[in-house]
Amino acid sequence: MPRGVPNEVPADGLTTRQRRHTPVLAVHTGDGKGKSTAAFGMALRAWNQGFDIGVFQFVKSAKWKVGEEASFRALGELHESTGAGGAVEWHKMGEGWSWSRKQGTEEDHAAAALEGWREIARRLQAQTHTFYVLDEFTYPLGWGWVDVHEVVDVLRSRPGNQHVVITGRRAPTELVDAADLVTEMTKIRHPMDSGRKGQKGIEW
């Protein structure tokens, strides 16, 4: 696919313009580092185009200082004050969704994850955002907290031109099959293999 030109043009009845503006469902999976990083890189491009950004983190603790969060919150403030880029919302399950405060057992976390997904589904139906990052969403799918068939149905039927990128290891086959763009991060070597802990500016 050199210079962004497809190898084949399908006989789907769509014009080049229509095909170019088809919303993308992307999945970043695999054991290698960089799944979320790549998703936030896509979100940065989307923000620059004026897209409304919604980020939903399903596993990361609210106590973790995520560098991308600080950056995107600043970009959201920049948009509010100057009109540059797009609006940004950032939600972490670990601190309780902004629309729900839950703490406690695994059952509580499972309920919170399901409630978070249901809110995302409502937003997709309402076309609230243009670009969604569902960070580490493969884990609640794999744990059975959220039904993968329901997720695939909602994503396939989402209206408008809403792009969605999902990250996390062991993406379910049903999700991979539904995606337009799938990237598997393969680990060749990692500093932690030699006993080195995560570093500021590298892991967060």
Over its length of 204 residues, how does the chain's per-residue pLDDT go in tens digits?
Answer: 456 677 777 777 767 776 677 999 999 999 999 999 999 999 999 999 999 999 999 976 555 567 899 999 999 999 999 999 999 999 987 555 545 555 667 788 888 899 999 999 999 999 999 999 999 999 999 999 999 999 999 999 999 999 999 999 999 999 999 999 999 999 888 887 778 887 777 776
Q: Which residues contact 31 (CB under 8 A, 6 or more apart)?
A: 169, 185, 186, 187
* CA quadruple 24, 62, 86, 153: dihedral sign: positive
This prediction has a pTM of 0.88
Q: Specify the pLDDT at position 111.
A: 87
Q: Which domains does the chain have, with CATH numbers?
A: 28-185 (3.40.50.300)
Contact indicator for 126, 148 with CB cutoff of 8 Å:
no
